[in-house]
Amino acid sequence: MGSNTLSPQERRSSFATVLVAEAAERAGFYGVDAILLLFMVQQLGITDHRADLMVGAFAAMTYATPLLGGWIGDCLYGPRWTAIFGTLLLSAGYALLACTVTSRSFFELALALVATGNGLFKPNAAQLVRRLYERYPLKRDSAFTLYYMAANVGSALSMFLIPWVRNTFDPLLAFSLCVAGPACALFILLTQTGTLRDLGILTRHSLSPKRATAFGAGSVILCILSVTFILYSASVARLAVFSCLTVVCILWATLYRRATPSEKVKLVTLGIMLIQSIAFYCFYQQMQTSLTLFALTNVDGTFRILGHRIVTFSAAQFQALDPLFIILLSSPMARIYNVLSRRNRDVSLPTKFAIGFGFVVVAFFIWWGGTHLAGGNLTSAWFMAGGYLALAMAEVLIGGLGLAVVAKYAPASLNGIMVGAYYLTVGAGMYLGSEIASKASSTAMSQAAQSQHYENLFGILCLCALALALLTLFLARKLNRMEKRISGKNVSNTEILSIR
């Protein structure tokens, strides 16, 4: 049974199954993500500079491995079973991270298991969503926005809970609790509806089952060993990130060379928007790096109204504001997309990206303004929240629709691999963002000097975001005109090259 034969009720049931599995898996992942940097600095004694770079390398590998996971899901195991294997590796990785509390020697291997497990799970869960809505393009943006929201439901809960557990009890218990996330996702995927089981089978298979199993397992083991080696060295990590980007460029160029004229237009749009995604995640990564260290030393974590204390956040818990705001924003945005689609007034994906960069500008302007007004004292928690709200809106418009971009513009036969390529660009952006944060490390400064340091950083990032917002708006207008010209028509190579 394929997605085309599903009734509306079966489709909703299958979609809900994927959403719950995604939320459970992300709860474990982002619980680890929330405490990882501070665990490295405070428990393992790693310097801020080295910790920023290692977190960036881990993020890059976490989002580079979906290229392998997408290929395994497309060509070897099918998306459902590949996602199941991913949850097994994630559970093992979190359990091993718990062991690093007493033995530092397992740390890089644990992170490698997590990165590889994520690579197997993420693109294939998204592939299941794409298959459900491949014949319903008007519902695609809404479906992927809700899918993104589900991920943030799990992450918001864990990013509030896990830092509290770490601070109140110990990191061992915090990491151990994270194992429950992928374990629950594993149970859901093994016991889900029959429609989803049929949806997750292979559409083609060129190898015998034994050879496919052996080849896939060997690829996964090699990936784990490679990521472990990469995490040991900042220079090797940098080389690996740019090598992965080179692979994406080669893949894009190969597809472009073989594509029909109308497909080339889509690939040009896809390539431009992947570059924009890299730029966005440079800003996004500041939440886990520079903003977390800023909150640790230069932010009053207590929210007050008229002088009365409401709640106090730890430095790590501020990161939970991002998924919390995404949960609040995603459902209204999905409804807006549906209403605009029904009225034939939907905003194009390139335009949504351009609007998203406008909110990036707002976010860093708020953080710059809050630091400036503090005048060397602690910055108010309300400024942190305001910046997180604006950046969450940007994430809904850019990060939340990244998979929709791939679903719309990538060749259907290679969608899983292209989802992996998209995640690779996300990882590259996060790594570059961590490079920026590492250069902005200010541990040895006084509080007043740190405040001025971060004020300068946020101001520079605000100006960079403004330049990108103007550029993406210009490109959106060009891409929209080009798509309208080729709609229902053949297109020449001259028209394709006219936007360059």
Tell me what pLDDT residue 445 has: 61
Q: What is the pLDDT of residues 444-494, one digit of tens each?
A: 566 667 778 889 999 999 999 999 999 999 999 888 888 777 665 544 333
Q: Is the pLDDT of residue 31 over 80?
A: yes
Q: What is the pLDDT of residues 378-424, one digit of tens each?
A: 999 999 999 999 999 999 899 878 877 887 888 776 766 777 788 78
135 in any annotated domain: yes
Q: Is the pLDDT of residue 97 over 60?
A: yes
Q: At residue 335, what is the residue type? A: R
5 in any annotated domain: no
344 in any annotated domain: yes
52 in any annotated domain: yes
Tokens of 211: 């050879």
Q: What is the pLDDT of residues 264-285, one digit of tens each?
A: 888 888 889 899 999 999 999 9
DSSP 250: H
The domain in which residue 471 lies consists of 17-497
* Cβ(219)–Cβ(68) below 8 Å: yes
Between CA 292 and CA 180 the distance in angstroms is 25
Report, in angstroms and rounded to the nearest whole number, the Rg of the chain calculated over CA atoms.
22
Domain holding 184: CATH number?
A: 1.20.1250.20
| Average pLDDT, integer, range 144-158 | 82
Q: Which range (6-10, 254-258, 334-338) has the least confidence?
A: 6-10
Q: Is the pLDDT of residue 209 over 80?
A: no
Phi and psi at residue 292, to the nearest 5°: -70, -45
- Report percent pLDDT > 90 for the chain: 33
CA torsion sign, 217 to 219 to 223 to 225? positive
139 in any annotated domain: yes
For the whole model, what pTM was predicted? 0.77
6 in any annotated domain: no
Q: Is the pLDDT of residue 292 over 70?
A: yes
**Percent helix, percent strand, percent coil in the chain, to nearest 5:** 80, 5, 15
Q: At residue 103, what is the residue type? A: S
Q: Is the pLDDT of residue 180 over 80?
A: yes
63 in any annotated domain: yes
Tokens of 133: 């809505």
In three-state form (DSSP H/G/I as H, E/B as E, the rest C), the secondary structure along 386-426 is HHHHHHHHHHHHCCCCHHHHHHHHCCHHHHHHHHHHHHHHH
356 in any annotated domain: yes
Task: Please count the structural domains in the chain.
Answer: 1
